[in-house]
Amino acid sequence: MSLVGKKAPLINAPAVINGEEIVENFSLDQYLGNKDVILFFYPKDFTFVCPTEIHAFQEKLAEFEKRGVAVVGCSCDTEESHLAWLNVPKDKGGIEGVTYPIIADSAKTVAHNFGVLAGDWNYDEDGSLIFEGAPVAYRGTFLIDKEGVVRQETVNDLPLGRSVSETLRLVDALRHVEKFGEVCPANWEEGKEAMQATRDGVADYLSKH
């Protein structure tokens, strides 16, 4: 079930911040009324596609911050695993140099609440508790506004890396909607013409394109 248009689930979990400090009770509430948030989930530390995405967000971090957006990562690993990976150089497959918060969801509750856990608990024929599927997060990306409402979400299967540039484009689209009250058509980018959400507005836009 999509979370778009709904309040983002509450988060209270350990995280590593500034690439070096573990905090026990990290929450997105600190951004309410102040910043939008890009919350992205990745499957697992010390893997192959994940560091490319994590570094890609870091490379665009200044662009997100310039737009008043906080970037937060999350996986089902422990905070100790995050910290260890953050101490591995980039040229050796690590994520050293990443400064935005990375949530440790070892209980898998955050991924479950956001609907991106790639499996779930169940019972076998003997009544024993088992986990079916992969005990990791899909590559979910959530754009959460200053009121704590999810405005956009995408979920990729495990082998499919996401586009950080597309995530930034969606932030720009949200900003444009909030500022001008216009809607953004297909392939809209910052600086391009948007349109009014009326029959005449749509007709006028289409007549020009």
Largest distance between two CA atoms of the chain: 66
Q: In angstroms, rounded to a whole number, what is the distance separating the alpha carbons of residues 54 and 73? A: 8
Question: Does residue 50 have an active-site annotation?
Answer: yes
The residue from 50, 74, 76, 184 that is catalytic is 50
Phi–psi pair at 52, nearest 5 degrees: -65, -40
Size of the chain in residues? 209
Residue 16 near residue 82 (C-beta atoms within 8 A): yes
115 Cβ contact list (under 8 Å, min separation 6): 1, 2, 3, 140, 155
Question: What SS3 class is residue 166?
Answer: helix
Q: Which residues are catalytic?
A: 50
